[in-house]
Amino acid sequence: MSFFSRTILVVFFAFMQNMASAQDSSRLRISLLTCTPGEELYSTFGHSALRVIDSNSVSDMVFNYGTFNFEEKGFYVKFIRGKLLYCLSWSSFEDFKAEYVFENRGITEQVLDLSGEEKLRVMAAIRENAKEENRYYKYDFFLDNCTTRLRDLIVKNKSPKPQLPAVMPEKFRFRQAIHQYLDQNHKDWSKLGIDILLGAPCDAVMTTAQQQFLPDNLMIALDSTKNTRMVLSSQNVLPVENNFFSALGKSMSKLKFNLFEFTWFTPMVCFSILLLLFMALSLIHKKVRVLLNVLDGLLFFTTGALGILLLFMWFGTDHSMTKTNYNLLWAFPMHIIIAFCMNSKKKLVKKYFLFTTLGMTLVLISWSFLPQQMNNALLPVAILVLFRAFARYRKMQAGV
């Protein structure tokens, strides 16, 4: 290419850049912030927020749809029932960043490729959302959260509408998606609790749009749009580092001794030990008959109480993923009543233990084929319920 041609090309690109600048008089820079996971359960899956730098007002603000008020009246009841309202909040970028510096969590910034008109539409939507009557919404972790709200805001105000691609394997399920984060962070006990509470809807195959409930997935999808460019540039504005503040944050989060922090003390280990303990006591049951009665009562009472909780989460809450829970097959609510009948001689109690024995046998046979992915750490518990129900039935059959 000749010198003259190169000169013409440089002048042309400079002209086009000036034209673009002239068309964008908004003087706004809008970017998506994607935060890495934290150590606490609520931060395990990361976070998303929107950063807006306004050269007109010389401001640098972050808008966050993941805010809730711990001091709200009836907070815990509303949280459990799925009625807790989240809201849009805002703060300076420096204040937002300081929190993540303290927690030693990284932040990736993607500057969005929006025209001046599109940026103004985004800001108009944010101002509308920021009104007191519009700030609050009913949060749903999987379907309507801090990330999906930002996704919808960006997609709605971008023209042409961006086609965000799938970023996870075909036929990937909600439960598999969250398991990736829980396994990576060695949160076996949290994983157990989540697997118990979340029912069959959590095993539905995600659509492409539903995959974007996770901050990392939205970040990757924006980088890979098919029909239009969405990201001008990307940078790591806060790397994860070992510094004084992050060390202090970690130390404060671990001030209390927590047995569950030991990686070897997994639910599978704990429940297997429990099963072996019951089996050992059963071998010498004549010497520890009273103790076995108490332990059996506790076993059936606990599983029954858990079953009642699962029924409540199914019918008494607004959570979308706690319906149709197959854990009720082993955590049967009626167990809580039979727990007080360990020494009963009634035929009804005898039939109940027989029914439980047969039912649990079928559950264990079909464990891997149920419409809901069961947590394998619960296998020792299911076996224990079967074992003790059968032992109780045999005892009553023998008339002991």
Taking only the tens place, the pLDDT of each residue in 231-287 is 999 999 999 865 444 444 444 444 444 544 556 789 999 999 999 999 999 888 777
For 217, residues 6+ apart whose C-beta sits below 8 A from its C-beta are 167, 168, 211
Residue 7's pLDDT is 45
Give the separation between CA 134 and CA 22, rounded to whole angstroms: 34
CB atoms near residue 185 (< 10 Å): 17
Question: What are the residue ranges of helices labelled H in 257-288?
Answer: 267-283
Residue 367's pLDDT is 97
Give the separation between CA 86 and CA 204, rounded to whole angstroms: 25
Give the separation between CA 37 and CA 150, rounded to whole angstroms: 18
Give the separation between CA 379 and CA 66, rounded to whole angstroms: 36
Residue 18's pLDDT is 46
Residue ranges of the chain with per-residue pLDDT less than 70: 1-23, 76, 241-263, 400
The sign of the dihedral angle between the CA atoms of 366, 371, 377, 382 is negative
H helices, E strands: number in the chain: 14, 7
pTM assigned to the model:
0.85
Bridge partners (DSSP) listed for residue 53? 29, 60
Residue 17's pLDDT is 42
Residue 9's pLDDT is 38
Residue 194's pLDDT is 95
pLDDT digits 0-9 by tens, 144-159: 999 999 999 999 999 9
C-beta of residue 65 within 8 angstroms of C-beta of residue 138: no
DSSP class of residue 48 equals: E
Q: Are strands 231-238 and 85-92 parallel, antiparallel or unpaired?
A: unpaired
Residue 257's pLDDT is 44
Rounded to the nearest angstrom, the gap between the alpha carbon of residue 384 and the centroid of all alpha carbons in its chain is 29
C-beta of residue 197 within 8 angstroms of C-beta of residue 189: no
Give the separation between CA 43 and CA 300, rounded to whole angstroms: 34
As given in the structure block, the two tokens for residue 194 are 């989540």
Give the separation between CA 112 and CA 119, rounded to whole angstroms: 9
